[in-house]
Chains A and B, each alone.
Chain A
Amino acid sequence: MTEDLLRIDGLHVGFRTGDRTRHVVRGVDLRIRPGEVLGLVGESGSGKSITALAVMRLLPPGAAITSGRVTFRGRNLIEASNHEINLLRGGEIGMIFQDPLTALNPALPIGRQLGDAIRAHQTISWRTAKSRAEELLALVGIPFPAERLRAYPHELSGGMRQRVMIALAVSSNPSLLIADEPTTALDVTVQAQVMELIDRVRREFGIAVLFISHNLELVAEIADRVTVMYAGRVVESAGVEALFETPNHPYTRQLIRCVPRLDGGRGAMPTIPGLPPRVELLPPGCPFAPRCEIAEARCTMEEPPMRWRGEQMAACFLAAS
């Protein structure tokens, strides 16, 4: 088995309010092998974005890693110096976010921003950086790249801006790309184009991708393995086929059933009753138990164990093993 590119062990992230710390990520383990696409799925508040931000040490003010390890190519990122982290961000680890308009500088043309990013990690002349920027724009499928170098972010459509973000992210030949809901703000036809681009870029450059999304169908299309989070914990982790064909955690099963399908016929929509728990009011035992269709008495009292079925892990008393 190849060595893991990124490994997260027992990660806890908490927000401090007054003298209390509320944990939004509570013991997350995940690993990504080189060249692999890991889908990280969860609803809002599940802790999936905070997990990704913790990897890059970009947590919002008030949030801090309280325990756990984040290892990238054998290096512990939690203990790395700020200088080391800065080299990694936009270097070996590229990032794309949901909203490219806030991630790009509105006051600078995109050619300048690409050039800056390239020169931050390589000592090359402006002229070389500029021609490299042009190549990158062509690579991500932007028509007339030479002219577009002078365009400002607001002059581009949402899909084009996300292409620029991808060009920025791959400009330094990263080995890991963190994509946090990269297509959520886009229309389906543009979403399809961007998904195809992400898939192509990772194939051509052998980049591993941490693909974070709430859209199960999208994750199923691109991921090799999938990790499902609920209320700050990993509830299931498996290869993409196993996860979607034989989900072993009731939450995964119920969530897959909720996804509206075009060939699903007519009638009422399947739902999961109730609401996700709030971090400050977590129920004892399994956090999903109050909404679970097969919960038993012990589920509301004890934390469920991790059950393995081959490579498939589910944190549930009732999971098959």
Chain B
Amino acid sequence: MTARTATAPDDSMISEAPPLLLLRDLRKTYRLRRGLWDRLRGRTRNVNAVDGVTLSIQQGLIHGLVGESGCGKSTLARMMVGLTPPTGGEVLWGGTTLPALSRQGWREFRAGVQMVFQDTHSSLNPRKRIRTILSEALAAHGVTRLARDERIARLLDQVGIDGQLLGRYPHELSGGQRQRIGIARALAMEPSLLVADEPVSSLDVSLQGQIINLLRELNASLGLTIVLISHDLAVVARVCDRVAVMYGGQIVESGAPEKVLAAPSHPYTKALLDAVPRGLRRRARTVLPIETTVTEGGCRFRQRCVQAVAVCSDRTPALRTVGQGHLVACHLREPVGVECLKSP
């Protein structure tokens, strides 16, 4: 079985409770718009932003999703919350695929899976006061006008915002405060899953911790399941229960952060960790080869991989278990056939 059709559940899925959300061989292909001449001649090019991702989101955990820009992590997030329809594979909510959900089931999904965006300038309506922004979310959830004030007070309390800010407009708030409002708006729907796409990358270092800690507290107090998308490996290592590393639209390594980020197995994870600045502790570091376009077919990382061998360009490596709940997609980590790989 090749990775293209690999949908078989792995060990980590069998050993656990049914996932809150299951992504099965999820794909998203965008067609690139080309010039008239190419279109007349029928030449088109596709980009596989997400290229066969299988991932289970377990109830009550904080899942980290890391990778560089263009690796498909934001597209994956948008498919998780139902904002972008996949071109292949399926998203299962409570065991049912999204298109098969009933009208009621769809409503529950839309309320139950909420997103927090990176850019608080563009995700909050600049012409509405904070009170209106929050009460619209509550209205959409069917909270009566009379009950809204009390619910707003509770939401503000949960995210640590002073009630005096309710009459303000988003631009009058600091970046950290705006992100708290973004989280409050998501919480208004009483979600069971929160997908946070780079929630702190536009904030200052001294404030990042406050928002990340808020997410941790919500996870602990409400049992909120969180998908934290971040390029900051240190933050993910610190707060996540699970982590998945993406490259070229695929998951190349996943598992507990103590395994994936402390003892990485995939060459890309190693390179990514190696590139993290470490200050005085290491003033010289190894540098990955210059970025190239991701190649289709075979291992997506092979052109930048220092360990690549012949088979890497022939076959796409499948995600395989290398330790408890630790999955790696690399030919060199496969238990059998390493000898034969060396003599192609």
Contacts and interface: CB of A to CB of B under 8 A. Distances in A.
B291 interface: yes
Interface string B176-220: 110000000000000000000000000011111110110010000
A264 B280 contact: no
11 contacts: A143-B290, A188-B272, A189-B272, A191-B275, A220-B283, A221-B278, A221-B279, A262-B234, A264-B234, A266-B237, A268-B216
Given A261-B234, A267-B238, A43 B275 contact: no
B271 interface: yes
A187 interface: yes
A271 B213 contact: yes
B287 A193 contact: yes
A128 interface: no
A43 B68 contact: no
A241 interface: yes
A190 B210 CA distance: 28
A261 B281 CA distance: 11
Contacts of A271: 206-207, 209-210, 213
Interface residues of B, number: 43
A265 interface: yes
Interface string B275-294: 11111101101011011000
Given A271-B209, A272-B206, 19 more contacts: A43-B204, A44-B204, A143-B290, A159-B291, A188-B231, A192-B287, A215-B205, A219-B279, A221-B279, A221-B282, A245-B280, A260-B238, A262-B233, A264-B234, A265-B238, A266-B257, A269-B213, A272-B207, A275-B207
A240 interface: yes
Interface of A: 43-44, 141, 143, 157-159, 187-193, 195-196, 214-222, 240-241, 244-245, 254-255, 258-262, 264-272, 275-276
Interface string B219-241: 00000000000011111011100
A43 B238 contact: no
Contact of A192 (B176, B177, B285): B285
B252 to A, nearest CB: 14
A209 to B, nearest CB: 15
Interface string B239-269: 1000000000000000001000100000000
B276 A188 contact: yes
State the main secondary structure of chain B at its contact with A.
helix
Contacts of B307: none
Contacts of A262: 233-234, 237, 261, 273, 276, 278
A65 B273 CA distance: 43
Contact of A217 (B69, B174, B231, B279): B279
B214 to A, nearest CB: 10
Contacts of A267: 238
Interface of B: 68-69, 174-177, 204-210, 212-213, 216, 231-235, 237-239, 257, 261, 271-280, 282-283, 285, 287-288, 290-291
Contacts, number: 134
Nearest to A185: B69
A191 B272 CA distance: 11
A270 B206 CA distance: 8
Contact of A214 (B175, B204, B212, B277): B204
Nearest to A256: B279
A56 to B, nearest CB: 24
A217 B68 contact: no
Contacts of B287: 189, 192-193, 196
Contacts of A245: 280
Contacts of A196: 285, 287
Given A214-B204, A268-B216, A240 B280 contact: yes
Which A-B residue pairs are the 3 nearest by beta carbons? A220-B279, A269-B209, A260-B234
B276 A43 contact: no
A275 B174 CA distance: 8
Contacts of A143: 290
A43 B208 CA distance: 12
A266 B237 CA distance: 7
Nearest to B283: A221
Given A220-B280, A258-B206, A262-B261, A157 B291 contact: yes
A158 B237 CA distance: 27
Contact of B205 (A216, A240, A275): A216
A217 B207 contact: no
Contacts of A157: 291
A159 B70 CA distance: 13
A141 B290 CA distance: 9
A43 B277 contact: no
Which of B209, B212, B235, B279 has most A Cβ within 10 Å? B279
A200 to B, nearest CB: 11
A43 to B, nearest CB: 4
Contact of B235 (A193, A255, A260, A276): A260
A115 B307 CA distance: 40
A292 to B, nearest CB: 12
Which of B205, B208, B274 has most A Cβ within 10 Å? B205
Contacts of B212: 269
A261 B278 CA distance: 8
Contacts of B276: 188, 217, 262
A267 B209 CA distance: 11
B272 to A, nearest CB: 6
A10 B100 CA distance: 68
A244 B275 contact: no
Contacts of B238: 260, 264-267, 269
